[in-house]
Copies of this chain bind each other. A is one copy, B any other.
Amino acid sequence: MSATRYTYLGPAGTFTEAALRTLPEAATRELVPLASVPAVLDAVRAGEASGAFVPVENSVEGAVTATSDELATGTALMIYREVLLPISFALLVRPGTALDDIKTVTSHPVAQPQVRRWLAANLPDARWESAASNADGARLVQEGRFDGAFAGEFAAPIYGLEPLVTDIHDAANATTRFVLVGRPGRVSSPTGADKTSMVVWLPDDHPGALLELLQEFAVRGINLMRIESRPTGEGLGNYCFLIDCEGHLSERRVSEALMGLRRICPQVRFLGSYPRADQGRPTALRPGTSDEDFSLAADWLSRALDGRGEA
């Protein structure tokens, strides 16, 4: 029954599953791992699942471009939640394996730069090879094809392995950001610490358009949190931008800015307003940009149009 089904980027035992399980509602959903980002999202588009959970960006590797491209094109989807997961690896081995026994290790290529320094210091002679996913690496260890796999500690029991070393990560604060995506629906109420995501296409032949676009945010005191350029497929030099900004579409400063983008740009795709997962408090509003300020200004306008500007 699709309403209770969430798809996610599999296989089971990856960080994606671990992140998904931090959502309270995950406990009551059927969680279905699928092999690719398009497959995960298409299941929602086809009505076979009510939610799709995919990685968006990693603080070391950058954007997950498959997710960016899927959100920017095809049938529109909407982001309802985000999850931030600190990334830390365990070295998983078959029970009984000691550090000295390890000659070969494996992991997803994305993991490799995050364990490189640890490897050089602790297993300088071990040979690393890539796996299709960290969980798949664990499976290969289970099958005896490698001696160790770098993966989340939570993957160990799934594959009958033991974490020999834990908390391995080269970059301090390595974090991956995931989003829960669904079919477009009514935007839920703001929480006071929200984020809004969108994709904008620049007008052709307008070199200053990116600056104009950013000024739609700046003039209304809205901070940008992320900007990612992606090719439009129309040839080199043609980009669309995935943008995350502070605030919620139901806030006046945000809605007015997005309408401004809509007037400038040939296409704007709204990707959702949802609660910020970072603990940080939102930046204080710039004076004159609260909903109350907008409301007072609208009252002022009505009076001015009516000849009662300073009654």
- Chain B CB within 8 A of A255 CB: yes
Residue of B63, B175, B233 touching A59 (CB-CB under 8 A): B233
Residues of chain A from 96 to 137 with CB closer than 8 A to chain B in the complex: none
What are the residues of chain B within 8 A of A203 when measuring CB–CB?
A: 287
Determine the main DSSP class of A at the interface with B.
mixed
* Contact status of A250 and B305, CB under 8 A, knowing A59-B233, A226-B229, A229-B229: yes
Asked if B258 and A301 sit within 8 Å, CB to CB, the answer is yes
Contact B304 A270 (CB under 8 A): yes
- The reply to whether the CB of A25 lies closer than 8 angstroms to some CB of chain B is no
**Which of A40-48, A141-149, A292-300 lines the interface with chain B?**
A292-300
Do B211 and A214 touch across chains, with their CB atoms under 8 A apart?
yes
B231 A229 Cβ-Cβ under 8 A: no
Tier of interface size on chain A = 35 or more
- Asked whether any CB of chain B lies closer than 8 Å to the CB of A239, the reply is yes
Nearest chain B CB to A182's CB is how many angstroms away? 9
Instruction: Tell whether A32 is near chain B: CB-to-CB under 8 Å.
Output: no
B-chain residues with CB within 8 Å of residue A184 when the two chains form the complex: 307-310
Bound CA–CA A291/B27 (angstroms)? 49
- List B contacts of A60 (CB < 8 A): 231, 233
Residues A59 and B238 in contact, CB atoms below 8 Å apart:
yes
Contact in complex: A296, B262 (CB < 8 Å): yes
User: In the bound complex, do residue A269 and residue B59 qualify as a contact, i.e. CB atoms below 8 Å apart?
Assistant: no
In whole angstroms, what is the CA distance A177 to B177 when docked?
A: 30
A147 CB to nearest chain B CB (Å): 23
Q: List chain B residues, Cβ under 8 A from A59.
A: 231, 233-236, 238
- A18 → chain B closest CB, angstroms: 17
**Can you list 19 A-B contacts (CB < 8 A)?**
A59-B233, A171-B233, A173-B235, A184-B307, A187-B305, A210-B214, A210-B224, A210-B227, A214-B214, A215-B219, A220-B260, A226-B229, A227-B227, A249-B301, A262-B297, A262-B301, A263-B289, A264-B288, A270-B309
